[in-house]
A and B are shown apart, each in its own frame.
Chain A
């Protein structure tokens, strides 16, 4: 282990100040649109719908001037999981549409690989890709202060039900604000302990225990400094008269503009269209191409 740069691994959720149209939208509108699109991605169950969603999302990425590489960065650590899920689908997917809907490609005991499982895997990969892009889009184009204020405002009707919207938003904001600080601190402590000959991530036969023990020289100083920071922050807030959310106004005045309503209406209409129409014009085509390819592959593997 020679790379101690903790920031390198903390790029999800970093704001990229490109100042595009997407950046300038009202955060409340963005949060609502984000939720709508998440719903659309979750429930879109055809290739056609998924592909349309993907194309639209890539278009939005383009519009936000964010490099695509950045929008997809979260994908790499997720790859092993995707592989595991794909394998599970491949082996254990039971076709709910009856035997007529799909044909068997390969059968061995209880393992029944059908064109349907292949179809499902394709959909899953598309879906994960879209989730990744959505999350990146929201966090790369919206400042955390905007996000938290937007969230607080959206949740504020719930205050009547004694829901702690302000406190929740504050906790969220502090957590986000201190994530890079603590990452920097961790990096510093790692370097200091490595200079004293500490090894991280290595362990002998009792690997797990040894590895956990090896983390103590990092965790103890990190916790001490986090607690000290928490205390300092609480003091600093109280010294400046913070008494909680009641009657508190905000310097960040969120004002929805026509363009926000327009964007919201467009995204809303799009999501409704995706959800309630049975879009499968392209499915037959994509499906037969995919299953033909899968057959070919299996044929090669088996023989």
Chain B
């Protein structure tokens, strides 16, 4: 199966040819397949944002290749607007891009730009708003700037979903959200993939959400893709990650800690329930009454 997105040996330098030159990417390779959730992790300044901006043509490849949905991004005659309709990009704190007075109009901005007819626009806006959990009738005529921060973020995300893209790119989607809203958003992202087969690319610093959501992970360090694998493969190398300025999810770190103290537990575990099972198994806790543990404390 050909990948929907392929990056080969991608390089990028900001302000090329000036004294402010800053090398951002120095050789990134990656592949994303239809219907996958792929996460890109890396410390601040590693080039993640630069990389994803290549995916919908906001930045053109300086050196190296980028193919998205079978189109070569190096091609100067590429129909970039057509590509952007299929590759949705949700930037960090997207609520800062809202500008229309009414929620419904802001969500409709994208579909209108692509010249869709009124009934089509209305139907897409309705669907997008309901996907993010904003009732269409209730919210469409609300004033955009009277909403709460979390609601505004949902409006902004709906604005991109209304394009009905085949690939969706999220840059730190949960950053600054309260835990309940954040986990609601993450489960929406998973639903989009499960129900609509949207391919998801997720850039995040939050390892818990990456571990929960991603099928595969790419680790980017100083502009290079250095590791690739499933969350289990990546996070079982906690020591290596720490050296890069990254962390494994907390529960995985606990397992690494236990292993370090001599307990023969598995370390490739990502969720609390998996870890609990493993600890019970390893320490034979099921055999002992719980009171014994308390006595020893």
Enumerate chain A interface residues (CB-CB to B < 8 A): 2, 4-5, 7-8, 11, 14, 16, 67, 70, 188-189, 191-199, 216-217, 219-221, 224-225
Per-position 1/0 for B77-93, Cβ under 8 A of A: 00011001100110100
> Given A5-B15, A67-B19, A191-B58, do A220 and B99 touch, yes or no (CB 8 Å)?
yes
Residue of A nearest to B113 (CB): A197
Chain B residues engaging chain A, CB cutoff 8 angstroms:
14-15, 18-20, 53, 56-58, 60, 80-81, 84-85, 88-89, 91, 94, 96-99, 109-110, 113-114, 145, 159-160, 163
CA distance A72 to B58 in the complex (A): 29
A221 and B19 in contact, given A2-B60, A196-B110 (Cβ under 8 angstroms) = no
Complex CA–CA separation, A227 to B89 (angstroms): 26
Tell me which residues across on chain A come within 8 A of B56, comparing CB atoms.
195
Do the beta carbons of B19 and A70 come within 8 Å of each other?
A: yes
Q: Which 7 A-B residue pairings sit nearest by Cβ, starting from the closest?
A: A197-B113, A220-B99, A196-B110, A195-B89, A192-B97, A191-B58, A217-B99
Give Cα distance in the complex from A108 to B14, angstroms.
53
B99, A221: Cβ atoms under 8 Å?
yes
Identify which of B15, B85, B89, B98 contacts A221 (C-beta below 8 A). Answer: B98
In the complex, besides A16-B19, A195-B56, A221-B99, 13 extra interface pairs with C-beta distance below 8 angstroms are A2-B80, A8-B15, A192-B89, A192-B94, A194-B84, A195-B88, A196-B109, A196-B160, A197-B84, A197-B114, A198-B109, A221-B96, A224-B96
User: How many Å from the CB of B15 to the closest CB on chain A?
Assistant: 6
Taking the closest CB of chain A, its distance from the CB of B147, in whole angstroms, is 13
Chain A residue at minimum C-beta to C-beta distance from B169: A195
Contact status A195-B84, CB under 8 Å: yes
Q: Nearest Cβ distance between residue B180 and chain A, in whole angstroms?
A: 25
Tell me whether A191 and B57 are in contact (CB under 8 A). Answer: no
Q: A7-B15, A189-B96, A191-B58 are in contact. Are A196 and B113 (CB under 8 A)?
A: yes
Q: List 9 A-B contacts (CB under 8 A).
A: A4-B58, A192-B94, A192-B97, A195-B58, A197-B85, A197-B163, A217-B97, A224-B96, A224-B145
Chain A's nearest CB lies how many Å from the CB of B166? 14
Does the CB pair A197–B19 fall under 8 Å?
Answer: no
Of the candidates B81, B84, B99, B114, the one having the most CB atoms from chain A within 10 angstroms of its own CB is B99
Q: Judging by beta carbons under 8 Å apart, are B19 and A225 in contact?
A: no
Is B96 a contact of A198 with CB atoms below 8 Å? no
Q: How far is the CB of B189 from chain A (nearest CB, A)?
A: 17
Give the nearest-CB partner of A4 in chain B: B58
How far is the CB of B146 from the nearest CB of chain A, in Å?
Answer: 13
Are A5 and B14 in contact (CB-based, < 8 A)? yes
CB-CB < 8 A to A198: which residues of B? Answer: 109, 113
Set of chain A residues within 8 Å of B97, measured between Cβ atoms: 189, 192-193, 217, 221
User: With A5-B14, A7-B15, A70-B19 in contact, is A199–B96 under 8 Å at CB?
Assistant: no
Q: Which residues of the partner chain A approach B81 to less than 8 Å between Cβ atoms?
A: 197, 199
The 8 Å CB contact of A196, one of B18, B53, B57, B159, is B159
* Minimum CB distance partner of B165 in chain A: A195
- Closest beta carbon of chain A to B168's beta carbon, Å: 11
CB neighbours (8 Å) of B20 from chain A are 7, 14
Once the chains are docked, how many angstroms separate the CA of A225 from the CA of B110? 22
- Closest residue of chain A to B98 (Cβ to Cβ) is A221
Chain B residue with Cβ nearest A192: B97
A280 CB → nearest B CB, Å = 40
**Nearest opposing residue in chain B for A218, CB measure:** B99
Interface centre among A191, A199, A225 (most CB of B within 10 A): A191
Enumerate chain B residues within 8 angstroms of A8, measured Cβ to Cβ.
Answer: 15, 18
Question: When chains A and B are docked, how far (Å) is the Cα of A111 from the Cα of B137?
Answer: 70
**Nearest neighbor of B87 in chain A, beta-carbon distance:** A195
Inter-chain contacts of A5 with B (CB < 8 A): 14-15
Residues of A within 8 A of B19 (CB): 16, 67, 70
- The answer to whether A194 touches B99 (Cβ under 8 A) is no
- Which residues of chain B have C-beta atoms less than 8 A from A194's C-beta? 58, 84
Complexed CA–CA distance, A191 and B50 (Å) = 12
Of chain A, the residue at the smallest CB distance from B19 is A16
Cα A193 to Cα B99 in complex, Å, equals 10
C-alpha gap A210/B51 in the complex (Å): 33
For the complex, give the distance between the alpha carbons of A205 and B163 in Å: 27
Distance of A84 from chain B, by nearest CB (Å): 28
Minimum CB–CB distance from B134 to chain A (whole Å) comes to: 17
